[in-house]
Amino acid sequence: HKQPFVTVGFQYRMTELQGALLYAQVKKLRKIVSGNRKAAKAIERGIKKEVGKGPIFREERDVKQVYYGLLMKPDWGNLEIESEKFIQALAKEGVEVWKVNKPLYKADALKGIAKVPYAGEVCREAEKAYREWFALPVYPGMKEREIEGIVKAFTKIYKYYSRK
């Protein structure tokens, strides 16, 4: 798995055409978020049904998750496979899967220019998340067969490498 980012920073300028396109997309935002939530909930239910465990986040009473990917953190202590190999196995099964981003302070773009000297594991939780978490795809309009394919692939690999 290779990180897609070489630089750190954001481009906030836009043309009039980009603004018009953005405005049209903002109008669709509720529908997009609703579609992502629906797909994420279906994948979550399927995985929980098959392996008894699901994604790492739960919704609080006054919070609604907005899914761009369904974050997963399997119980690595119960599996005889490392996270990187698990991700590769999912990819071989045809699942678009990705790791969470590398901690920002380790970005190549910041090496040598940071004002704070970062050495080793500065933020243990960020390091742990980078090693252990990955995301499954969710998007509005996901077909049931796509959701079933993700659940089937995850379940197949999880059960095969499970120590139980």
Give residue-wise pLDDT tens across range 53-70. 766 666 777 877 777 889
Q: Is residue 9 one of the residues assigned to a domain? A: no
Q: Is residue 11 one of the residues assigned to a domain? A: no
DSSP string, 32-45: HHHHHHHHHHHHHH
User: Average pLDDT of 110-138?
Assistant: 79
Domain tally, the chain = 1
Domain that holds residue 95: 16-161
Q: Is residue 8 one of the residues assigned to a domain? A: no
Q: Are 76 and 132 in contact (CB under 8 A)?
A: yes
pTM: 0.77
Q: What CATH number corresponds to the domain at position 103?
A: 3.90.1150.10
Q: Is residue 3 one of the residues assigned to a domain? A: no
At residue 55, the pLDDT reads 66
